[in-house]
Structure 1
Amino acid sequence: MSSCEINGYEELSQKFKDKLGLEKSPVAVKLVLNEDDIPGGIPKIEEKVRHCEMIQKASQGDIFYATAEEQACKGGAGAIGLMEPPEKVNSGEMYYSLGRFSSLGSAKRTVDAIPKIEPIMKAIAYSPLEKTPFDPDVVVIICNPQQAMQLAQAMVYTLGGRFEADFAGIQSICGDAVAGPYTTKRPNITLGCSGSRKFADIKSDEVIVGMNGENIGCIVNALEAL
């Protein structure tokens, strides 16, 4: 099989599940620049929850979109381009006040390094990959470390090299798993954060992998070859 000949998101999702033994669906994420581009037939989520919770919901079968108004975590909404991040997040003050850093300076340096999408998006659409009615910008997989290892092996299968994970234990599913792959076009593995483990029920034995949506066919092909 050539490097990127798989088509069909239902097939791709099933192959991810079969090859990795995933319990949850890969999640398709689309960043929407204009209201007119919101995929037709997708409802707006009715409750106000965090982006990480939305990823979890989609991994379990839900399809919906959300604007900044439906995002309960404004720091997360800022990372994925729906709004300017709150000043207390941008300055590092919030994380410093929570005791996460020894100084405001260390908090600020960390926050500055978190990937962020320019705040121009009107909405974010979420769907399990097998049901997605849109082409995803990013695909997020909640998995265990062994499954993440297999994904990393697949990502270096064709061109070689090393997989570089980039995280700091804060803003993981928003900054690390969505904004990072979207802005850099490179996949990332993140260990989650206190918020995603508390509110989105990311388990102690789970990690999160974010991938550019354009490359998932190649990754599935590599998984099959391996």
Structure 2
Amino acid sequence: MELSEKISILPILLNLKRKVVAVRIIKNKKEYDSINAKEIKSKVTYCYMIKRGGSGQHFKSKADNFWCVGASKALGLIDVPENVISGEVYESLGLYIDREVAKSAQEDIKYIEERNYGIEVFPLEDYPNRKFDVAIIVDTSYPIMRIAQGYSYYYGINKSIRIGGNQAICSESTATPYLEDDINISMLCSGTRFFAKWDENDISIGIPYSKMNNIIDGIINTINPTEPNEKKLRIIEELSKKGIDLGIELDKNYYI
């Protein structure tokens, strides 16, 4: 099964409530201008851009239209000021007990250092043949668990998850997977929950392009040992409409 076909059935495998959002980091104006997509003209948060992508919208945005400075820093659209690196800014917001902890936290928050021009955002299932840098899924913990199981099938236990509860979509879900070339799970943050109005039980995961094929393959290969019958039956029924048979077996899982 080709990656594009795996991508097309991923929403069925995970029973996702939103579309998977693909993000491309755009290096320069020439590349940006060549993208055939509507450009965002007003200033909005990156979190809101991802929410729009999850609803099926395809667009591009350059640095001037990012409302959130935190996202602009994380995605390499602007330089990171010294007062952020030192911990001064985030200490002043009351997010950490003192400057030392704030500075330590900032050292562990991932920012893309190279200067970029903008981004492209699109619903991945609508463009399954289009390459991306990071795919973002925002949903409840169950589908995120299944992604973790699919990941572990090939790569074993992930030992590098970075969770701080701040800069959740821009850094934890985009810059970190982009820079580390690995998945990262985020509990989201107060800012993105306010601006993007995610559901209370939503969390997110960022998946780099290089890991997507194996992760979906791992999800497929762990259906039988992990999923209960009612979820297997739903998957079988929905895949049958596409003429796909994954050899799913009922009454077979590791915990019964």
Change in CA separation of 1:134 and 1:88 when aligned onto 2, cut-off 3 Å: farther
User: Residue 11 of structure 2 is aligned with which of 1, 17, 28?
Assistant: 17
Conserved 8 A contact 1:82-1:120 = yes
- TM-score w.r.t. the length of structure 1 is 0.91
Inter-partner Cα distance in structure 1 for 2:95 and 2:156: 36
What is aligned with 1:129?
A: 124
* 1:42 aligns to 2:33 (yes or no): no
Does structure 1 residue 82 correspond to structure 2 residue 77? yes
Does residue 204 of the first structure (1) align with residue 186 of the second (2)? Answer: no
| Pair member with larger Rg | 2
Contact 2:182 2:211 in 1 (8 A): no
Cα RMSD of the aligned pairs, angstroms, is 1.7
Q: 2:29, 2:9 → 1: CA distance?
A: 33
The separation in 2 between residues aligned to 1:155 and 1:68, in whole angstroms, is: 33
Q: CA deviation at 1:97?
A: 1.8
Letter in 2 for 1:53: Y
Decide whether aligned partners of structure 1 residues 69 and 20 sit closer, same or farther in structure 2, where only a CA change above 3 A counts: same
Q: For 1:130-164, what per-residue CA distance to the aligned partner results, in whole angstroms no more than 9, with x for missing partners?
A: 22374101101001111111110000102323454
Displacement of 1:99 in angstroms is 1.4
Classify the secondary structure of the residue corresponding to 1:168: coil
* Cα-to-partner distance string for 1:19-49 (whole Å, 9 max, x where unaligned): 1110001111001112222253112112211
Report what 1:65 is aligned to.
Answer: 60
**What corresponds to 2:94 in structure 1?**
99
Q: Which amino acid aligns with 1:193?
A: C
| 1:158 correspondence with 2:158 | no
Q: What is the Cα deviation at residue 64 of structure 1?
A: 0.8
Distance 1:134 1:51 in 2: 21
3-state SS of 1:157 partner: helix
* One of 213, 218, 221 as aligned partner of 1:222: 218
* Partner deviation per Cα, 1:61-82 (whole Å, 9 max, x = no partner): 1111111111101111111111
**Within 2, Cα distance between the matches of 1:163 and 1:104?**
27
Match of 2:50 among 46, 55, 75: 55
Q: Which amino acid aligns with 1:195?
A: G
Q: In structure 1, how many angstroms separate the alpha carbons of the residues matched to 2:85 and 2:155?
A: 37
Partner residue, 2:21: 27
Tell me the CA shift for residue 129 of structure 1.
Answer: 0.4
* Separation of aligned partners in 1, 2:6 and 2:87: 39
Structure 1 moving runs of 4+ over 4 Å: none
1:173 aligns with 2:172: no
Identical amino acids, percent of aligned pairs: 30
Would you say how many aligned residue pairs link Structure 1 and Structure 2?
Answer: 220
CA distance, structure 2, for counterparts of residue 188 and residue 30 of structure 1: 17
Higher relative contact order (CA 8 A, sep 6+): 1
Q: Aligned partners of 1:28 and 1:121: how far apart in 2?
A: 17
CA distance in 2, matches of 1:86, 1:66: 22
Give, as a single letter, the amino acid of the residue that structure 1 aligns with 2:29. Answer: E
